[in-house]
Structure 1
Amino acid sequence: MLRDGHIHTPYCPHGSNDSLKQYIERAIELGFSELTFTEHAPLPENFIDPAPARDSSMQKADLEQYIQEVEKVKKQYASSLTINTGLEVDFIAGFEKETTEFLNEYGSFLDDTILSVHFLPVKGQFVCIDFSEEEFGRIIKEAGSIEFVYKLYYDTVLQSIEADLGPFKPSRIGHITLVRKFQHMFPCTEPFEEHIDRMLRAVKQAGYSLDYNGAGFVKPLCRETYPPARIAHAAHSLGIPLVYGSDAHASAGIGQGLDQIDRNLIERSV
């Protein structure tokens, strides 16, 4: 029984206008029995979106409508598959209080959530690491080296795992190797094995799961899942649950990267 735990919606400014029903119908067609809509949660009000297009998240004004719409299709398709109401919440260093307050306000309305890192503080200013290869190149130049960017990303993911964000903190950590999205244009020779091992052991200790994300494989400058197979196997060997996520931003993206996923590792729908 297949589960897709990471799906976006028309509420995403950098996604498509495909309806929730289009995502659901595609999931049914591919044989999924469970899915979670995980739209990018609104960013803290006092945080300025560093993505050049300022399009990283849904608007706070749309949040209640989003929840209501997912709840509606959840009931409409109850006989066909399980649908979860969720969000992909950003961990932003220094904004833990605001994130906790947001989760305390809306957490009880959610079935499933992901905690992800997209933003890093580089020389006093936040940057968005996955916006484009051009922007990533600029970030490397600003930071001084690609090794600095990778280390900062992994350190921030570890910080997100260990952070106290209250009782509604997401228990699944998103795409832990997202920093490798442009690796074929900007290769990094340092494997950061100790950093990855610390992240995995922190996930295990916290009792969390990992987003086993297929989107990286279809990115032409990445061509591997987040995390890649060797890290996924290391996580599995520690007993960490892995939840497949397409990270689809259009209905056609449902199931992307699934052929690269070791299905023996992933959590199945119950």
Structure 2
Amino acid sequence: MSEKYDGHVHSPFCPHGTSDSLESYVEKAIKLGFTGLTFTEHAPLPANFIDPVPLNDSGMSHQQLDEYFNAVEKIKDSYHGKFEIKCGLEVDYIEGFEEETRAFLDKVGSKLDDAILSVHFIHHNNQYTCLDYSPESFEELVNALGSVENVHKKYYETVYRSLTADLGDYKPKRLGHISLVNKFQKKFQLDISSSHLVTTILDEVKKQGLSLDYNGAGTVKPLCKEPYPPSWVIEEAESRKIPLIYGSDAHSSKGIGQGFDQLSSTLLSSPLPLSRS
């Protein structure tokens, strides 16, 4: 890919991010030689889902949605013809809330140019834990499920469920940070490979004609120090000719471009448009 595109960018609407303006993200991207980006703010969580993180700040509120869409449309107009901007969301797949997620996507899908489907929450023992919130929350999962291997197994099973769930016509076309379970891998090392689970997911991604978020955020996480996903997964994806979309997963303007120089950038593609009904 000759042009640099960032397909996973957050915004001041992120309750656990920064107040950096949309313009500051765009200007940083232009400075780094990018030709476009997608704002993919964390979508509001289902109304009857209880966010398990301490500040209940995993997604923006439903009340902010229209303001977010209006702000992105306004900056799209401001940079029209100079820099490509897409309006998107990072949508959580939450096991047991498929109907609510589909209803949400049916409602807002026509406003989206692009979207990412991600797994952050793991369902276990009649509760949910945010996998990537902290090493402590990950350790809670290890204790609850019995081993690091069981956490990986449950995570990848949930990712597979996200792919096969019926989320309607506006289901996102890109799978977010497929190896997020590796975020704390230097503290919680895996003794048994889960490669067969990953390749099963890749086969399903290929079957559905989806793309992968090639996410640079893991490279700056002290207990990860590699992209999401790592090189062996990228090789498997390349062998299946699965499109790879770079994502900084920036939660501040300074995060734009993070990890890009550590990726196999010659393999990158541009985002696929969402289907329209």
Which bracket does the TM-score occupy, shorter chain normalised?
over 0.9
Instruction: Please name the residue that 1:173 is paired with.
Output: 175
Identical aligned residues as a percent: 53
Check conservation: 1:50, 1:128, Cα contact below 8 A: yes
Find the residue that maps to 1:264 and give its secondary structure.
helix
TM-score by length of 1: 0.98
Matched, 1:11 2:16: no
Pick one of 227, 244, 256 that aligns with 1:254: 256
Cα distance 1:86–1:269, how it changes in 2: closer, same or farther (>3 A)? closer
Find the residue that maps to 1:196 and give its secondary structure.
helix
Could you tell which deviates more after superposition, 27-36 or 138-147? 138-147
Gaps of 5+ in 1: none
Q: Could you report, residue by residue, the CA deviation over 1:20-59 in whole angstroms, capped at 9, with x for unpaired residues? A: 0000000000011110000000000000001122110001
Instruction: Please name the residue that 2:201 is paired with.
Output: 199
Find the residue that maps to 2:36 and give its secondary structure.
strand
Pick one of 83, 93, 96 that aligns with 1:94: 96
The aligned amino acid for 1:86 is G
1:180-195 alignment to 2 at 5 Å? 180-195=182-197
1:224-243 alignment to 2 at 5 Å? 224-243=226-245
Instruction: Please name the residue that 1:76 is paired with.
Output: 78
Aligned residues: 270
Instruction: Please name the residue that 2:110 is paired with.
Output: 108
Q: Could you report, residue by residue, the CA deviation over 1:100-150 in whole angstroms, capped at 9, with x for unpaired residues? A: 000000000000000000001121111000001122112211222111111
Q: Could you report, residue by residue, the CA deviation over 1:53-82 in whole angstroms, capped at 9, with x for unpaired residues? A: 211000100000000000000010113210
Q: Distance in 1 between matches of 2:34 and 2:156?
A: 32
Check conservation: 1:34, 1:269, Cα contact below 8 A: no
Q: Distance in 2 between matches of 1:147 and 1:52?
A: 26
Q: Distance in 2 between matches of 1:55 and 1:144?
A: 28
The aligned amino acid for 1:217 is T
Gaps of 5+ in 2: 273-277
Give the deviation of 1:230 after TM superposition: 1.2
Check conservation: 1:28, 1:80, Cα contact below 8 A: no
Runs of 4+ in 1 over 2 A off after TM superposition: none
Give the deviation of 1:269 after TM superposition: 7.6
Check conservation: 2:245, 2:271, Cα contact below 8 A: no
